[in-house]
Amino acid sequence: MPAGERRARVAEALDQVGLTAFAKAFPRTLSGGMRQRVALIRTLINDPDIILLDEPFSALDYQTRLYLEGVLMEAVETFNKTVVLVTHDIDEAVALSKRVVVLGGRPSHVKKIYDIDINARTPIGARSDPNFAGYFHALCGELDIQTEAA
């Protein structure tokens, strides 16, 4: 890729995740959340067909997490990407996924697969969908997590 195009893509990506002011900063000077954002744009900027993400939002505050979830949702929709997201966050799994594969046991095996029918365009929209709570509770049940007061 020509240097000018590469610089333009990087500048656009940094702007998209709110890091334009840190374009020349050394990685060690960035917070954990900033490093997570850089890692996400480093993945997206290369325009892969499949994106593999392992706990990509775990070190982020809730507002930044929602924002970057939105960036990811937009990239998936706009550029028709396939994403494999590994997460322990049930809320995140339901909000971002079309399909959730629940793993369990040792050695790990597929316990159950859920096709998620939520047609929201934003992370908040997904969490507001009438079907969200049902999927959330079903997944908690698969993982033996109590969702009601005893």
- Residue from 61, 1, 48 nearest 10 by CA: 1
Domain boundaries, the chain: 1-86, 88-144
> From 3.40.50.300, 3.30.1330.90, 3.40.190.10, 3.30.300.180, which CATH number describes the 1-86 domain?
3.40.50.300
Q: Which of 103, 71, 74, 76 is nearest to 87 (CA)?
A: 103
Residues of the chain with pLDDT under 70: 147-150
Instruction: Determine the pLDDT at residue 117.
Output: 96
Nearest alpha-carbon partner for 82 in 65, 107, 99: 99
Model pTM score: 0.75
Q: What is the pLDDT of residues 65-105, one digit of tens each?
A: 898 898 888 878 877 888 999 999 999 999 999 999 999 88
